[in-house]
Amino acid sequence: MLISDQIIGEFIQTRQTTEEICAPLTQEDYVIQLRNYMSPPKWHLGHTSWFFEDYILKKLDENYQEFNPEFKHIFNSAYQHIEDRYLRSSRGNLSRPSVEEVYEYRDHITNYLAEFLDDHPDQEISFLLTLGIQHEKQHQELLFNDIKYLLGSNPLRPRYSETYEENIIEKQKSKWIKVKEGLYEIGHATTDFCFDNELGKHKVYLNNCKISNKLITNGEYLEFILDGGYENDHLWHAEGWQWLKRNQIKSPMYWHFVDGQWQQYTLKGIRVLDLEAPVTHVSYYEAFAYANWRELRLPTEFEWEVAQDYFDWGKRWEWTESAYQPYPKFKKRTEFIWEYNQNFMVNKKVLRGGSVVTSKNHTRYTYRNFYHPSLRWQFSGIRLAKG
């Protein structure tokens, strides 16, 4: 299979988009890691470059010389390292290599690979290239999550952008979409790219159920707060209640009650909470407790996949009730993509859809995002089901 011009174009475009996402950052912003689950923007820039270097350039080009031999230790994401200085939790400790060097590294990789592809159009690396592009798109979204978190945690509350609108209001009238009991096919079936966790198209039996065509709004969620939702342990998982107590959680992330008014930090800075906008930055624990309070429930990922044609989605990741587990025909694949395989398939919940910061041409209705139930720095919201 020849490398198409289109995919080369997409490669270059993706590399550029990553840099555009970082454009509003100051040099100091690139260094910050506030939580173990975050990475500094600089690390994302380096890691996505290392991915192309390590999995394509070093494998296909015998003349290729590493840009810097130390970088593979710094920008590798493998979790097994034991040396303190390379630990995931230590990514925010690295002032060097500098932002400038990392951009040089990026440029080097982008140019070298683009040129290499031009010279070797017969290389059978479509898949690897696509994987690298999709991998970088995942990190584009993580960049948004991490940047919002690091700016939103700063006491000066700096804005990311004057114009980036993250709150997309759903105008449609609320209604329940019926899913009829029966057998349905789940999973990715076309020849288009997908991650390995979506593969293994298989049958699933669903019972009658109904799914809302709208996401829960800030206003609806506020009622839960005002009704004492965060003080009533019966609504929560035992584990969620511990999480809430230990972290003194009293509202979604980025909500601030200031001078008698609920405000929300957004990519455009601090604003009055928009009651019409979908609630976001909630953990699975909160989504579950909210559904419980409404005497409803979250949909499973299968119900969601079956019903998704009948509602709009893609502006907000949606927590599902489903644990992240392998599909029946899941195959552990070659080593280099094991990041998406079963090594993460425990104690995570599946999110479906996509969010306002998800890259173009990245998500799809079979896409399975997954996070620990406590995480909420991603743009995550709530859609209810019943039956």
Residues 134-163 that bind a second copy (CB under 8 A): 150-151, 153-156, 158
Task: Please list every residue from 110 through 139 that binds a second copy, using CB under 8 A.
Answer: none
Stretch that binds a second copy, among 47-55, 92-100, 305-313, 356-364 (CB under 8 A): 92-100
**349-352: strand order across its sheet:** 369-371, 349-352, 317-323, 380-381
Verify binding: residue 65, a second copy, rule CB under 8 A.
no
Q: Which of residues 349-378 bind a second copy (CB under 8 A)?
A: 349, 373
Q: Which of 172, 205, 246, 260 binds a second copy (CB under 8 A)?
A: 205
Contact residue for a second copy among 59, 203, 250, 333 (CB under 8 A): 203
Q: Does 3 bind a second copy (CB under 8 A)?
A: no
Name which position in 27, 89, 111, 361 contacts a second copy (CB under 8 A): 27
Taking CB under 8 A as the binding criterion, the range among 111-119, 201-209, 253-261, 351-359 that sits at the site for a second copy is 201-209
Tokens of 11: 């490669």
Which of the ranges 43-51, 73-81, 138-146, 212-220 carries the binding residues for a second copy, by CB under 8 A?
73-81
Q: Which is nearer to a second copy, 13 or 207 (CB)?
A: 207
Tokens 């998500």 belong to: 363
Q: Which of residues 280-309 bind a second copy (CB under 8 A)?
A: 284-285, 288, 292, 297
Q: Do 266 and 167 contact (CB within 8 A), yes or no?
A: yes
Interacting span for a second copy (CB under 8 A) from 95-103, 104-112, 121-129, 164-172: 95-103
Nearer to a second copy, 315 or 383 (CB): 383
172 binds a second copy (CB under 8 A): no
Neighbouring-strand partners of residue 178: 210
Give the whole-angstrom CA distance, residue 172 versus residue 182: 28
DSSP string, 331-350: ----GGGGGGSGGG-SS-EE
> Where does this chain touch a second copy (CB under 8 A) — which range of 7-15, 23-31, 47-55, 169-177?
23-31
Q: Which of 3, 74, 128, 129 binds a second copy (CB under 8 A)?
A: 74
The DSSP 8-state label assigned to residue 57 in this structure reads I
At 386 the three-state DSSP class reads: strand
Q: Among 11, 52, 105, 236, which residue interacts with a second copy (rule: CB under 8 A)?
A: 236
For a second copy, the closer of residues 86 and 365 by Cβ is: 86
Round to whole Å and give the CA distance between 298 and 289.
Answer: 10
CA distances to 241, 243, 293, 329, 385 from 236, rounded to whole Å, are 6, 10, 9, 34, 18
Interface with a second copy, residue 66, by CB under 8 A:
no
- CA 10, chain centre distance (Å): 20
CB 119, CB 125: distance < 8 Å: no
Q: Which of residues 239-278 bind a second copy (CB under 8 A)?
A: 239-242, 245
Among 6, 23, 62, 96, binds a second copy (CB under 8 A): 96
Query: Are the C-beta atoms of 177 and 211 separated by less than 8 Å?
Result: yes
* List 238, 260, 309, 334, residue binding a second copy (CB under 8 A): 238
The stretches of the chain forming alpha helices (DSSP H) are 5-22, 41-52, 58-60, 71-75, 99-119, 126-152, 218-226, 238-246, 284-293, 301-307
- Residues ≥6 apart with Cβ < 8 Å to 136: 14, 15, 18, 48, 51
Q: What is the rounded CA–CA span in Å between residue 193 and residue 244?
A: 39
